[in-house]
Amino acid sequence: MQVKPFEAAIFDLDGVIVDTAKFHYQAWKRLAEELGFAFSEKENEQLKGVSRMESLDLLLRAGGITNLTAKRKETLASRKNEWYKEYLTTLTPADVLPGVRSFLHHLRSSGIKTAIASASKNAPLILDKVNIGSWLDVVVDGNSIVKAKPDPEVFLQAARLLGVAPFVCYVFEDAAAGVEGAIRAGMRVVGVGEEQLLARAHLTVTSFEQLEPVFLLSRIGVSDLGVTGDSPYEQ
């Protein structure tokens, strides 16, 4: 089995680097309640990794609302985003998820390039609040892409800006749409979260605290199919 090199790590932001996914849910739930229907955490899973307007469409569909004008939708999406930004003001560096800083340190000290590839238009604000921007070479977010995940645009743009080929990239994602987009980009994918929800990922972990041994192996033993060698994460 031919082993491919590992030269770049591309991260989703919400729910991977920082636990902001809870704020999205709180804001969408608040909007649903204002519109007169309940919105569950299970339904919210479909919104992960998806653009704001597409998320709104999914929310409205869950509530059986199909007759809104484009202008009304824009108003609702803006209202949700304002609530979300209010919640973001409570973020601190302590909100970076466990193991992330250590893993980024391993990457940078080993010469691995790093990028954010996020659908969020609030990525600059989030990165500023948690103070990890200096660990990243490139940030691609909803302000600089046209097509949302599962389209591979955000990942391919990150690779271009990093100056690397897609096949030497690892993507770290917590959403099924993001996993699919990374696969379409020709990249290998680590799912961060529940394996059942991220079944298409080449490897799934629940936390970056599990990833240091995998990272050490990945320099010499990761193929398109997963991890080879004496690893507890072997597929």
Residues 95-122 have pLDDT tens digits of 999 999 999 988 888 889 999 999 888 8
Give per-residue pLDDT as tens, 116-161: 999 888 899 899 999 999 999 999 998 899 898 899 999 999 999 9
**Which residues make up each annotated binding site for Mg(2+)?**
12, 14, 173-174
Question: Count of residues for the chain?
Answer: 235
Q: State the CB neighbour count (10 A cutoff) for residue 45.
A: 17
Whether the Cβ atoms of residue 210 and residue 218 lie closer than 8 Å to each other: no
Tally of helices (H runs) and strands (E runs) in the chain:
9, 8
Counting beta carbons within 10 angstroms of the beta carbon of residue 41, is it exposed (0 to 12), middle (13 to 18) or buried (19 or more)?
Answer: exposed
Confidence of residue 223 (pLDDT cuts 50, 70, 90): very low
Locate 58 and state its tokens: 């999914």
- Which CATH architecture fits 8-19+95-227? 3-Layer(aba) Sandwich (3.40)
Whether the Cβ atoms of residue 166 and residue 156 lie closer than 8 Å to each other: yes
Query: Hey, where are the domains in the chain?
Result: 8-19+95-227, 21-88
Q: Is the pLDDT of residue 229 over 60?
A: no
CATH 1.10.150.240 assigned to domain 21-88? The reply is yes
Q: Is the pLDDT of residue 44 over 80?
A: yes
Q: Is the pLDDT of residue 225 over 50?
A: no
Task: Share the mean pLDDT of the chain.
Answer: 86
- Choosing from 14, 19, 137, 141, the catalytic residue is 14
The answer to whether the predicted template modeling score (pTM) of the entire model surpasses 0.75 is yes
**Which residues make up each annotated binding site for substrate?**
12-14, 28, 47-52, 55, 80, 118-122, 149
β-pair partners for 190 = 172, 203
Give per-residue pLDDT as tens, 159-214: 999 999 999 999 999 999 999 999 999 999 999 998 888 999 988 999 988 876 55
DSSP string, 90-113: T--GGGBPTTHHHHHHHHHHTT-E
Mean pLDDT of 28-33: 97
- Choosing from 12, 19, 128, 224, the catalytic residue is 12
Q: What is residue 4's predicted lDDT score, i.e. its pLDDT?
A: 59
Confidence of residue 19 (pLDDT cuts 50, 70, 90): confident
Q: Is 12 a catalytic residue?
A: yes
Q: What is residue 93's predicted lDDT score, i.e. its pLDDT?
A: 94
**Which residues make up each annotated binding site?**
12-14, 28, 47-52, 55, 80, 118-122, 149, 173-174
Q: What is residue 95's predicted lDDT score, i.e. its pLDDT?
A: 92
Q: Is 95 a catalytic residue?
A: no
Mean pLDDT of 213-228: 44
Counting beta carbons within 10 angstroms of the beta carbon of residue 229, is it exposed (0 to 12), middle (13 to 18) or buried (19 or more)?
Answer: exposed
Looking only at the bridges linking them, the beta strands covering 169-173 and 8-11 are: parallel
